[in-house]
Amino acid sequence: MQISNLLQSKDWEEFEKAEGHETFWVDDALFIKNQLFEKRNYLYCPKGPTELTEVFLNKAKELAEKEGSIFVRIEPLNQINIKTFKQKIRKTKDINPPGTLILDITKSEEELLSQMKQKARYNINLARKKGVEIEVTSDPEKAVIFYNIMKETTSRDGFSAHSLRHYKKQIEILGKKGIIKLYLAKYEDRYIAANIVSFFGNTASYLHGASSNEYRNVMAPYLLQWQAILDAKDQGLDYYDFWGIAPDDNLRHKWAGVTRFKKGFGGQQVLYPGTYDVVLSRSWYFLYKVFRILNKLIPK
């Protein structure tokens, strides 16, 4: 299964530059320079490289030393054994979820429906019968609709979100290329759910999703997801990436609910190695870790 990787593309680089980040390429891997405290920084390779080698690590460290970086953060796609590397590679908290669900959308619509769980099919039909309307747009000004619904979601489910500027800039830069689309669900003249979906290469990816606390009984997120899948299929794409699920079936995992929702659509589970750091300055890296812990403890 060879899915397209938006986060390792020239288009994503353009978005990162619009966000004010410096970018670099090491071989075919994109690195983003993230500023920290005291003019320090680290280099981050999102969902890359595909294949991690000693040669690649040496090149990445050489770039990091030149840029005065504290550490290099990578997310290799192929499985690795960190003990085989001369460089010390540390497992760290995952940035992008290592577990995902990939749906093969080259199958017919009937096949896709038949492989769903019965509850998912029922909820799609229920949303239609209730009169849920789906709006698809690439208008960056409508990012505020998504953001307002996202604030309800984060407050309810206890996770953090990006800023309104981030979502707006993402839609502005990548929407005009047809890569990013904003899906909005409307019920009784109120927006109650929203998704941001990318269409890149042979893969559509469910990047961000939000749902209101109101009208949850009309099952709008199911119809939103199904419409994006159908649109990706109509565009001739091969895969739909649900982007993040719990790595196991632990009912206590913070993603248990969203994982159950996504698995209702079928698909194949894929597990990537996760996020790793290669440290250049142990003292600054220690301070960075302390700062991260204190930042979580200090009330916002």
Residues 13 and 146 in one domain: no
Residue-wise pLDDT for 192-201, tens only, equals 999 999 999 9
Residues 22 and 118 in one domain: no
> Who wins on pLDDT, 294 or 51?
51
Q: What is the pLDDT of residue 300?
A: 41
> Who wins on pLDDT, 255 or 106?
106
For residue 1, tell me if it sits in a domain.
no
Q: What is the pLDDT of residue 293?
A: 82
Residues 263 and 127 in one domain: yes
Residues 49 and 59 in one domain: yes
Angle at 98 between CA 57 and CA 297, to 5 degrees: 95
Residues 176 and 233 in one domain: yes
Residues 51 and 126 in one domain: no
For residue 84, tell me if it sits in a domain.
yes
pTM for this prediction: 0.94
Q: What is the pLDDT of residue 159?
A: 75
- For residues 52 and 79, what is the distance between their CA atoms, to the nearest angstrom? 9
Q: What is the pLDDT of residue 90?
A: 96
Percent of the chain at pLDDT above 90? 85
Residues 120 and 152 in one domain: yes
Q: What is the pLDDT of residue 296?
A: 66
Residue 175, SS3 per DSSP: helix
- Report whether pLDDT(208) > 90: yes
Structural domain harbouring 201: 99-271
Residues 110 and 202 in one domain: yes
For residue 13, tell me if it sits in a domain.
yes
Residues 196 and 221 in one domain: yes
Q: Which of 157-161, 209-213, 242-246, 279-283 is least confident?
A: 157-161
Residue-wise pLDDT for 116-150, tens only, equals 999 999 999 999 999 999 999 999 999 999 999 99
Burial of 245: CB neighbours in 10 Å, binned 0-12, 13-18, 19+: buried
Q: What is the pLDDT of residue 25?
A: 98
**Buried residues in 64-82 as b, exposed as e (16+ CB within 10 A):** beebebbbbbbbbbeebee
Residues 277 and 267 in one domain: no
Q: What is the pLDDT of residue 247?
A: 75
For residue 65, tell me if it sits in a domain.
yes
Residues 65 and 113 in one domain: no
Residues 121 and 255 in one domain: yes
Work out the mean pLDDT of the chain and round it to a whole number. 94
Select from 97, 99, 101 the least CA-distant residue to 263: 101
Length of the chain: 300
CATH number at residue 253: 3.40.630.30
For residue 42, tell me if it sits in a domain.
yes
Domain count, the chain: 2
